[in-house]
Amino acid sequence: MYKKILFITDGLESAERAIDKIIEFHETWGSDILVVHFLKHAITIPFIYESNSSKLHTLIQQEFSYYELGQAILNMIEVTFKATGVPVDLKLVVNETPEEFVKKLVDKHNIDLIVIGIQGSFSKKKIGHEVSFSKKMIKKIHCDILIV
């Protein structure tokens, strides 16, 4: 049923719980699995660059830390999948927003299922209600979505 699965992870518990279900899908349907982690953060480099070069240096160090953390998250997930004999492709997305990238990926590669956690680094509280990445995906993407 699901031949191509996109697993979007932030490395938190809800995303980790999704791995068992993805492995089950792979064993049942032989699904191809792509695991993606996003580094896009709401930081405006030009503003900081124009105002203070020491802040720019701090920002660059912070972005490098995000990159290292993203690589570590993907490495841990790869180890988990390999331990069960399930092959995965991994992608660390650096310069694209999650919503835009996922839409392009689904359209280009005919993704059948997206698996994401309901909470994590993409969730934000705004004026008393939650605006989450998973809610945005439900509105914008036209394939099945499993929310863990």
Structural domains in the chain, sorted by start: 4-147 (3.40.50.620)
The tokens for 120 are: 């994590």
Give the whole-angstrom CA distance, residue 81 versus residue 33: 10
Task: Read off the tokens for 60.
Answer: 């660059």
5-45 confidence digits (pLDDT tens): 999 988 777 777 889 899 999 999 999 999 999 886 544 44
Position 89 pLDDT exceeds 90? yes
Query: Average pLDDT in the 41-51 region?
Result: 48
What is the pTM (predicted TM-score) of this model?
A: 0.77
Identity of the amino acid at 136: K
Does residue 135 surpass a pLDDT of 80?
no
Instruction: Determine the Cα–Cα distance for residues 100 and 39; give it in Å rounded to an integer.
Output: 13
Paired tokens of 64: 């490098």
Q: 34: which strand partners?
A: 6, 89
pLDDT computed for residue 43 by the predictor = 44
Q: How many helices (H) and strands (E) does the chain have?
A: 5, 7
State the Cα–Cα distance between residues 123 and 118, nearest whole angstrom: 8
The pLDDT tens digits for 90-128 are: 999 988 888 889 999 999 999 999 998 765 444 444 444
